[in-house]
Copies of this chain bind each other. A is one copy, B any other.
Amino acid sequence: MAAMDAADQIRASGYRMTRQRQLVWDVLHGAERHLSADELLDAIRDHDPDLNLSSVYRTLALLVELGLAQEVRLGDAVSYWEPAHAQDEDHLICDTCGKVLHHPSELVDQIREHLRGHGFEAKDVKLVVHGQCPECGDRKVDSH
């Protein structure tokens, strides 16, 4: 059973596969960190100078509709985007180096269970943590 790639899934859903959609998906999928629509456009223009920002937005909306991408709001005015991973509900943002980590752990499940114990049935959990990642923390001596 060959895995369906994004192009297949787009076509299988009755949409057309275009150069622009492929570019957006490739860059989004290959990115190490979250990108805003604008940053995505910049990155794509290295490969192909002719792509419009509105196409980026329209493609992102399509990818979200198909469950291939998701929007992330980190607390700024802009939205960031990443390939969809249901488990990536937590975002650890290092304020020193700027990296955004996903914490591959049971943390979100723990939160869910904790809340269930208090009667709140959690459907969607979003955890955004600013702080200092292990690498950056190592370089800084504790204050006392």
Contact = CB atoms under 8 A, between A and B. Distances in A.
Interface of A: 73, 75, 92, 95, 101, 103, 105, 107, 110-111, 114-115, 118-134, 137
Given A73-B75, A111-B111, A114-B107, A130 B120 contact: no
Contacts of A121: 131-132, 137
A132 B103 contact: no
The winner among A118, A119, A121 for most chain B CB atoms within 10 A is: A121
Q: What's the number of copies of this chain in the assembled complex?
A: 2
A73 B76 CA distance: 8
Nearest to A133: B120
Contacts of A101: 120
B130 A75 contact: no
Contact of A115 (B103, B118, B124): B103
A117 to B, nearest CB: 10
Contacts of A126: 75, 126-129
Contacts of A92: 115, 120, 122
A107 B103 contact: no
A101 B120 CA distance: 10
Contacts of A103: 115, 118, 120
A73 B134 CA distance: 27
Given A73-B75, A111-B111, A119 B131 contact: no
